[in-house]
Structure 1
Amino acid sequence: MTILKNIVLERNGKKPILLDVFNSTTEKECPIVVFCHGYKGFKDWGAWNLMAKHFANAGYCFIKFNFSHNGGTIKNPIDFPDLEAFGNNNYTKELDDLNDVLNWIEHNFQDNSKVNKNEITLIGHSRGGGIAIIKASEDSRVKKLITLASVCDFSKRTATIGNLEEWKKSGVKYVMNGRTKQQMPHYYQFYEDFKVNEERLNIKSAIKKLTIPHLIIHGDNDTSVSIKEGENLHKWNPNCELTIIDGADHVFNTKHPWEKEVLSAQLKDVAELIQEFINKKA
């Protein structure tokens, strides 16, 4: 396994993106897996590095990244030193970030015979699941999709961050981060951007358009995103596969920091299900 951490993807006029590449050293061509973190998440959260190693050891090229406005910085990609960036994040920025990551993959692996850039699987956790669904519905480079504890509706979450009139008047709403105790800002631009792009940001419409294989994984003990959201995703596109992980919470019984050398039993089950799904012939 080769590991390249904190690769800086520079972009004209936009904040840079940090990427990690965990690549198998197998002699065969490696499929690519791209992981999208969720709300108040980051690429180095909890057990995500262990999960990346698991996939690299299993013969994949596993790429994870920080969304550009997730609140991390190039020098400090863990936690949220840049709350101003966090407050200026929105769904379309995240879709744009993911597109630039896919472009980076296309450019950087074009002459690499050990990596198959034509076999890209997207994995999205929580809010990142909604982003991955929308991107997969509009980008033919994505061949398979896995969503972990994914949200099914951006509109409810966007409109319920507080009283809209107060939000518009003050320009900002705050959400407490239970772990770091930071007051995380959401500027009113978040709502404005959603309304302008509401049709594109409709997860229900996006999943109905999907024709690629899609695996939905949800824990039955998820108190952050109800299991009903996973069931809704499956209902809207019955061609998807839905798997429920018994006893799993929103992060599959891991936490940050994750100091163990092994995955939780639930996240190990998730990783094995994903491998089986990716390896399955259409």
Structure 2
Amino acid sequence: MATPTRTKHVLNGSLGELLVDVHAAGRDSPRPAIVVVHGFKGFKDWGMFPPLAERLARAGFATVTFNLSGSGVDDAGEFVWPDRFGRNTFSAELHDLEVVMDALVRGRLGVTPPSAVGVVGHSRGGGIAVLHAAGDRRVQALVTWAAISSVERWSPREVAEWREKGVKEIVNARTGQRLPLFTDVLDEVERNATGSLDILGAATRLQIPWFIAHGTADESVSHLEAEALRAASPMATTRLVSLEGAGHTFGAGHPWEPQRHDTPELRRVFDLTLAWFAAHLG
């Protein structure tokens, strides 16, 4: 197997440019591809995602990572577009994923159109992956890590304060930046939480192999949400693995430091993810 290389691409997303990286060890013949979807306040180069992309590419998968257009993050990993972040919505992220998927299967990302496609999503990106996979027959296998089971993430008190101020302040723990979150996403959730954005409803419609990984000590998304996803999904095609004592990122952090962040829990998630795609994407 050749050494993987990375190419960079720019697509038009919902709120601006989509910055896309493609990791592949070969580009001239069809091979399975995997699209990676980051979560809230995440980005393609956060912590564990580059090592994951490298691992998958070395195993023969063309691996696509990208910054959602509403992430607000540039190619250097800096939050430089706070207004995009503030206006981001779930439907904007779904559209972004559709744009990336279309470009991939049409051979517009520097690799031959893939022989099969899988999607892996983390946290909010896991919820987006479920919603997308339920409606896109091109997706043949799904993996979610610490995925949300509902788009309704805020208490009535938080919603009332948000409505009163017109903006909710989000603090980036890594940089200390205070990022605005306007009511666009709140408006959308109130309209569509039980319709087009119903993650559990989408889970019931999935007809593809789905692997769910979730830490029992997840501090951001309760393990109960993994149990809800598992209960909603077809029993025969879904597997839930609960990682005892693992947190939301399975020990990973940013900037990536292998000595600290390459934990047994994260290695197990990587191994199980690779095995799942190898078994179901051919």
TM superposition score normalised by structure 1: 0.89
Q: Which amino acid aligns with 1:20?
A: D
1:8 aligns with 10
Counterparts in 2 of 1:125 and 1:161: CA distance versus 1, 3 Å = farther
Q: Which amino acid aligns with 1:7?
A: H
Q: Which amino acid aligns with 1:108?
A: G
Q: Quote the Cα distance in structure 2 between the aligned partners of 1:187 and 1:249.
A: 28
2:174 aligns with 179
RMSD: 2.4
- 1:109-142 residue CA offsets vs partner (Å, 9 max, x unmatched): 6996xx5624110000000000000000011111
Q: Quote the Cα distance in structure 1 between the aligned partners of 2:118 and 2:196.
A: 21
Query: What aligned pairs does 1:36-115 form with structure 2 within 5 A after superposition?
Result: 36-73=37-74, 76-108=75-107, 115=112
% identity of equivalent residues: 32
Counterparts in 2 of 1:169 and 1:148: CA distance versus 1, 3 Å = same
1:268 aligns with 267
* Residue among 252, 255, 266 paired with 1:254: 252
* Residue among 206, 209, 213 paired with 1:213: 209
- 1:150 equivalent in alignment to 2:147: yes
Q: Secondary structure at the match of 2:227?
A: helix
| Residues 225-234 or 189-198, more deviating | 189-198
Q: Quote the Cα distance in structure 2 between the aligned partners of 1:86 and 1:193.
A: 15
8 Å Cα contact 2:15-2:92 kept in structure 1? no
Unaligned regions of 5+ residues in structure 2, if any?
none
Q: Quote the Cα distance in structure 2 between the aligned partners of 1:68 and 1:185.
A: 15
- What displacement does 1:80 show? 1.3
Q: Which amino acid aligns with 2:149?
A: C
8 Å Cα contact 2:209-2:280 kept in structure 1? no
Counterparts in 2 of 1:130 and 1:161: CA distance versus 1, 3 Å = farther
8 Å Cα contact 1:37-1:125 kept in structure 2? yes
Unaligned regions of 5+ residues in structure 1, if any?
none
8 Å Cα contact 2:7-2:110 kept in structure 1? no
- 1:127 equivalent in alignment to 2:119: no
1:17 aligns with 18
Q: Quote the Cα distance in structure 1 between the aligned partners of 2:209 and 2:98.
A: 20
Q: Which amino acid aligns with 1:9?
A: L
Counterparts in 2 of 1:182 and 1:141: CA distance versus 1, 3 Å = same
| Residues 258-267 or 244-253, more deviating | 258-267
Counterparts in 2 of 1:50 and 1:59: CA distance versus 1, 3 Å = same
